[in-house]
Amino acid sequence: MNSNLDDEFLKIIKSDIWMINILKTVRDLNLNDCWIGAGFIRNKIWDVKHNKTRTNLNDIDVIYFDKIKYSKIYDVLLEKQLQVSNSTINWSVKNQARMHLRNKHKQYVNCDNAISFWPETATAIAIRINDKNDIEYIAPYGLEDLFNLLIVPTPNFDFKVFKNRIEKKQWIKTWNKLVIKTN
On whether the CB atoms of residues 62 and 91 are closer than 8 A, the answer is yes
Q: CB-based burial of residue 157 (10 Å sphere; 0-12 exposed, 13-18 middle, 19+ buried)?
A: buried
pLDDT category of residue 183 using cuts at 50, 70 and 90: low
Bridge-based pairing state of the strands 135-138 and 150-151: unpaired
Look up the pTM and report it: 0.94
| Kind of pairing between the strands at 34-37 and 91-95 | unpaired
**Residue 1: predicted pLDDT:** 59
Domains (ranges, CATH) in the chain? 3-180 (3.30.460.10)
pLDDT tens column, 128-147: 999 999 999 999 999 999 99
With bands split at pLDDT 50, 70 and 90, how would you rate the model's confidence at 157? Answer: confident
